[in-house]
Amino acid sequence: MSNTPSVSRSVAVTVNGTTYQRDVAARTLLVHFLRENLNLTGTHFGCDTGHCGSCTVIANGKLIKSCMMLAVQADGAQIETVEGLAEPDGSLSPLQQAFSDAHALQCGFCTPGLMLASKYLLEHNPNPTEEEIRRGIKGNLCRCTGYVNIVRAIQNIAADSAEKGDLVK
Amino acid sequence: MSTVFTDNKTDTIRWTGKSIPRKEDDRLLKGQGRFADDIRRHNEAHVYLLRSPYGHARIRSIDVSVANEAPGVIYILTGEEVAVLQKPFMEIAPPPGGLMEDYCLAVGKVHFMGEPVVAILAETEELGRDAADLIEIDYEPLPAVVDGQAALQAGAPLVHEEAGTNVVWHGVYDWGDIEGSIAKADKVVKIDRLHFHRFTSTPIECNAAVVEYYPGSGEYTFWCNNTMPQFAAMFMGPALGIPTDRLHFVTQDIGGSFGNKITTYVYLTICAILAKKSGRPVKWTEYRTDHILGGSHGNERTFSDIVVPVMADGTILGISAAAIDDAGAFPRYEPLGSVIWSQVVPNVYRFRDVRIDFTQVVTNKCPVGPNRGYSRLQHMWMVERVVDIVAQELHLDPVAVRKQNYILPEQMPYETPNGCVYDSGDYPRCLDMALELIDYPKWRERQQTARGTGKIIGIGIGSTLDSGTNNFGQARIINPQLPFSGNGEVSNVKLDLYGEVVVTIGTTPQGQGHETTAAQVVSDILGLHPDQVRVLIGHDNARNVYTGFSGTYASQFAVTGLGAVQGAAEKLRREIVQLAAGVLQADESEIALRDGSAFVQGQEERAIPFIGLANIVFANNATMPPGLDVSLNCTYTYRPPFKVPDVEKKFGNLTLTYSTQIHASVVEVDEETGQTTILDYAAVDDSGRLIHPQIVEGQVHGAAGLGIGAALYEALEYDEEGQLLTSNFYGYKAVTAIDVPMMKTAAIESPSPFSPNGAKGMGEGGGAPLHAICSALQDVMRQKSGAIIKDSYNPSERVYWLLQNAEKSRQGVSVEESGHGL
């Protein structure tokens, strides 16, 4: 029986460069903290088992599923979410643009997680092979695209970056 | 054929037909979409559903007394109270299916694992879940029935005692002369059993809703992701004892549906009751495990006693079979699937003599609902299996047998044995293109060189149709009392106060890009850039236009949705031209539209911008030219040209368009493990005139991805007690990026002569990967010992078993030399 009253903790979490100080119930998952406490609803909740990847964010430089981490564990962490991807002027980043150009999104629900996974992949492997791309996003489920155009978008951005020599943003 | 494009456009640019950037993308890429779980209401309370752990059990008692005192609990609803507050949901079926009682919470007994039994409303979802742990339910487990054929046996456990049978609906479909075909055939191929398995599409966004009740008006608002809201209203209004217009549905971004979000009215009813009881906005977001346990599964179908009269050259004359469709515990959208398959009776083939004895049953499993390819893919899979088995058993080439039997392009429009009119298409050409994409001769060679290496290569074809734009009159074949026929969608296109063009449609897009394609159509008619057209997305029956058919399902938007948008935009164009002609003192024939202005052709300085026209109508109407009656607010309902089908003969045109999907797959099977790897894959589609080729191709990819998953990885498997063994993404292996190949695609455009724009509905696909992969596996088995692929689901263990047990798999399959009647 788990009727333990929620214990509240104070946390300070930096999300996309802004530090938020909040009191949260100790059992709050990071994904719910982002969505409900911070109203950053771009990070989505798609399963309760850590499989679908729609809640994927980057925490302290690591690609994680935010339903698999408690908000209290993120105390002091630097989190990157989809809301931080666009350019400061609001225009799409090259990665976002590549997704749009290749029609790598349909319903758009898995897209934030997939973009974070893609960003992480390209930061660690700027010129991935198709197989490396597929392995890099295998933790993110998409039911609309058959992954074809997602893989192409990542291939395109990798090729673009290689040509221009700039870092993937 | 008719054509979309207005002849009197002022601009040569045609936006339709181009893959322009999607209007939806910017917000979705920035995480600024508005999905159902993103909606917040002040003072909202949260619903947690306690579900049945049993497949079938009587509820002896439910004790909520301790839970009622738990922190944060606002209200606890059980079936006992629901039975007072709710009338059983309407059933589409006549008796016996029509006698089955369906409530939003289990009343008296549970019928499937995952059925909601108690709804807890609490201050937070977590507190609701805590309280659920304190509820004591005394269950008396009952024997479960988990197989369609078993459900028909005498003495089988009854899922619904009140119906006295597990049969939802039974009917015999008989067209042509199957006995005559059997008598004159050179050979008769018999197959005892084929089984199409249960799987589902698992949209990554689960079901969700925020529901608010307004005591002053008796109205409920559902911010939700239901994808056929007026269908939901039709069930909910009578169940709650209120007029359906008190049910206000609002949808915005929806994270996939594939049909699975059509039957959520059961859950919305729970929320409605709790919202009224508590006086609080009520929020419910489904967990993935709950979605897979109690959401919406695809129809499982068993075909038996399949008899196929064939000529020696491989010409198939007909098919006779019995079909048992397993609907799970409650009919809900069913038994519509018991007729919807007959949209594609001969699939893409010319055979004319068909008899299908169709029975739909209930079992102690999750209720089914529409699922991408709904009801047609099961039937077309059977037909494709028949084609491959005939080819193998008669030692014919499966490609040649297909070409031998395809309906030919010169036969279009082609009336099928049951009166469906295939509008256009070129199946042989699509097949040739698919074979070219995979380089068919190369793989036939490699197949030879692979022999003896422990790897076997198989090549398979899946030929299918994606029938779209339902004639809802087909529901009368199920129940002649139903007051349904035809179809339709409605759109409003207007200038707003400042001259901006604003479009609303009754649809509920889930990734199909309606904002973009509607803007393309409007832009061509009004001489605009799509960026100048604002499309308000989603269904809102209190504020926007809608019909009873409104929604997004059944491969129809390109026809019904864009047909409505086209009609409304043309009406608005006529009004703009009338008004501009009056203002500019020109003849209407001289007026042209470009870039948000109306002007006199050849004298472009004589012009008025849309904002000027809007000003006259909305804020300055004393200056209106005399004799005009314009609103600049134009609504049009597109109604496809349908007739009510002949219910007795089960005859009529059941959909307006028939897109083609022909897939070719190359697989490699490891003899030691049975593991199947896809080496090459091609999908050729013909969706008529393409409005946005990239969006169409994207949906082809998506349908193929889900189909590949279903063929090799995804199955909803129950044990004999009705326990679902694959109730989350641990057990239900939704395909990942490493399971799907980089498929090749090509398209041809055979414009539909029946649609308003030459386009055909598409998106569902016809389950072509299931057919193509089974076909390729059959090709693998042909090279070994001739095992027969009898199931649509072929994970490694089954392929391995087939390699080892060819003789067992061949039991019940025979070829008789000449026909002697059934």
Which positions ≥6 away from B52 have C-beta within 8 Å? B106, B110, B112, B113, B114, B115, B116, B117, B139
Crossing angle between the packed helical segments A94-101 and A148-164, to the nearest 10 degrees: 130
User: Taking residues B375-395, what's their average pLDDT?
Assistant: 98
Lowest average pLDDT, out of B54-58, B539-543, B748-752, goes to B539-543
CATH code: domain B37-142+206-254+262-294 is 3.90.1170.50
DSSP sequence for A40-83: -TTS----SSS-S-TTEEEETTEEEETTSSBGGGGTT-EEE-GG
Q: Tokens in use for A133?
A: 């791309």
* Percent of chain B topping pLDDT 90: 97
Q: Which residue has the tokens 């609902």?
A: B369
Q: Which CATH architecture has domain B25-33+488-638?
A: 2-Layer Sandwich (3.30)
Residues in chain A: 169
Count CB-CB contacts under 10 A for residue B178.
Answer: 23
Show residues of chain B in contact with A106, CB under 8 Å: 256, 510-513, 698-699, 702
Q: Is the dihedral of CA B787, B731, A47, B539 positive or negative?
A: positive
Task: Please answer yes or no on whether A100 and B29 come within 8 Å at the CB atom.
Answer: yes
Burial class (CB in 10 A: 0-12, 13-18, 19+), B635: middle
Show residues of chain A in contact with B255, CB under 8 Å: 44, 46, 107-110
Task: Please answer yes or no on whether A100 and B26 come within 8 Å at the CB atom.
Answer: yes
Residue A168 pLDDT exceeds 80 = no
Same fold for the pair B37-142+206-254+262-294 and B171-200+296-473+645-816: no
Q: Burial code of B271-286, b = ≥16 C-beta within 10 A, e = fewer?
A: bbbbbbbeebbbbbbb
State the Cα–Cα distance between residues B105 and A22, nearest whole angstrom.
Answer: 38
pLDDT computed for residue B816 by the predictor: 95
pLDDT computed for residue A4 by the predictor: 53
Task: Band the pLDDT of A2: cuts 50, 70, 90.
Answer: very low
User: In this structure, what DSSP letter does residue B228 have?
Assistant: -
Show residues of chain B in contact with A44, CB under 8 Å: 35, 37, 204-205, 255
Full 3-state SS string of B770-798: HHHHHHHHHHHHHHCCCCCCCECCCCHHH
pLDDT computed for residue B8 by the predictor: 42
Task: Please answer yes or no on whether B742 and A46 come within 8 Å at the CB atom.
Answer: no
Task: Please answer yes or no on whether B704 and A146 come within 8 Å at the CB atom.
Answer: yes
Q: Tokens in use for B295?
A: 């959401």
Task: Please answer yes or no on whether B702 and A101 come within 8 Å at the CB atom.
Answer: no
pLDDT digits (tens, 9 = 90+) for A83-123: 999 999 999 999 999 999 999 999 999 999 999 999 999 99
According to the CATH classification, is domain B171-200+296-473+645-816 in 3.30.420.40? no
Residue B796 pLDDT exceeds 80 = yes
pLDDT digits (tens, 9 = 90+) for B476-486: 999 999 999 99
The minimal CB distance from B25 to the residues A100, A133, A148 is found for: A100
Show residues of chain B in contact with A38, CB under 8 Å: none
Task: Please answer yes or no on whether A48 and B289 come within 8 Å at the CB atom.
Answer: yes
Q: Which CATH architecture has domain A94-164?
A: Orthogonal Bundle (1.10)
**Phi, psi (5° rounding) for residue B122?**
-140, 170
pLDDT digits (tens, 9 = 90+) for B433-477: 999 999 999 999 999 999 999 999 999 999 999 999 999 999 999
State the Cα–Cα distance between residues A122 and A128, nearest whole angstrom.
Answer: 7
State the Cα–Cα distance between residues B612 and B596, nearest whole angstrom.
Answer: 10
User: Taking residues B123-147, what's their average pLDDT?
Assistant: 97
Task: Please answer yes or no on whether B729 and A109 come within 8 Å at the CB atom.
Answer: no
Q: Tokens in use for B608?
A: 């008025």
pLDDT computed for residue B543 by the predictor: 87
Distance (Å) from the alpha carbon of A143 to chain B's nearest alpha carbon: 6
Size of interface A-B (CB pairs under 8 A): 202
Helix (H, G, I), strand (E, B) or coil at B468: strand
CA angle B481, B486, B487 (to 5 degrees): 120
State the Cα–Cα distance between residues B607 and B576, nearest whole angstrom.
Answer: 12
Domain range summary for chain B, segments of one domain joined by +: 25-33+488-638, 37-142+206-254+262-294, 171-200+296-473+645-816
Task: Please answer yes or no on whether B205 and A143 come within 8 Å at the CB atom.
Answer: no
Distance (Å) from the alpha carbon of B420 to chain A's nearest alpha carbon: 29
Task: Please answer yes or no on whether A101 and B21 come within 8 Å at the CB atom.
Answer: yes
Q: Tokens in use for B260?
A: 């699975």
CATH code: domain A8-84 is 3.10.20.30
State the Cα–Cα distance between residues B760 and B436, nearest whole angstrom.
Answer: 25
State the Cα–Cα distance between residues B198 and B717, nearest whole angstrom.
Answer: 7
Task: Please answer yes or no on whether B253 and A54 come within 8 Å at the CB atom.
Answer: no
Q: Is residue B326 a contact partner of residue B63, using CB atoms and an 8 Å limit?
A: no
State the Cα–Cα distance between residues B312 and B290, nearest whole angstrom.
Answer: 52
Show residues of chain A in contact with B253, CB under 8 Å: 107-109
pLDDT computed for residue B121 by the predictor: 98
Q: Tokens in use for B562?
A: 């864009």
Show residues of chain B in contact with A39, CB under 8 Å: 40
Which positions ≥6 away from A65 have C-beta within 8 Å? A31, A50, A53, A55, A56, A139
pLDDT computed for residue B537 by the predictor: 86
Show residues of chain A in contact with B694, CB under 8 Å: 103
Task: Please answer yes or no on whether A147 and B740 come within 8 Å at the CB atom.
Answer: yes
pLDDT computed for residue B818 by the predictor: 73
Q: Is residue B743 a contact partner of residue B701, using CB atoms and an 8 Å limit?
A: yes
State the Cα–Cα distance between residues B354 and B307, nearest whole angstrom.
Answer: 10
Task: Band the pLDDT of A166: cuts 50, 70, 90.
Answer: low
pLDDT digits (tens, 9 = 90+) for B315-338: 999 999 999 999 999 999 999 999
Where along chain A do the CATH 1.10.150.120 domains lie?
A: 94-164
| Nearest-by-CA chain B residue for A96 | B29
User: Taking residues B100-115, what's their average pLDDT?
Assistant: 98
Residue B10 pLDDT exceeds 70 = no
DSSP sequence for B689-701: S-SSHHHHHHHHH
User: Taking residues B490-510, what's their average pLDDT?
Assistant: 97
Instruction: State which amino acid sits at residue A89.
Output: D
Show residues of chain A in contact with B126, CB under 8 Å: 6, 25, 27
Task: Band the pLDDT of A165: cuts 50, 70, 90.
Answer: low
pLDDT digits (tens, 9 = 90+) for B549-563: 999 999 999 999 999
The minimal CB distance from A48 to the residues B35, B288, B511 is found for: B288
Task: Please answer yes or no on whether B204 and A151 come within 8 Å at the CB atom.
Answer: no
Task: Please answer yes or no on whether A109 and B32 come within 8 Å at the CB atom.
Answer: no
Distance (Å) from the alpha carbon of A76 to chain B's nearest alpha carbon: 24
pLDDT computed for residue A159 by the predictor: 83
Task: Band the pLDDT of B820: cuts 50, 70, 90.
Answer: low
Task: Please answer yes or no on whether A148 and B740 come within 8 Å at the CB atom.
Answer: yes
Show residues of chain B in contact with A109, CB under 8 Å: 33, 35, 203-205, 253, 255-256
The minimal CB distance from B206 to the residues A42, A43, A46 is found for: A46
Show residues of chain A in contact with B258, CB under 8 Å: 143
E strands, chain A, are 8-15, 18-25, 56-59, 62-65, 78-80
Distance (Å) from the alpha carbon of B690 to chain A's nearest alpha carbon: 16
Task: Band the pLDDT of A7: cuts 50, 70, 90.
Answer: confident
User: In this structure, what DSSP letter does residue A92 have?
Assistant: P
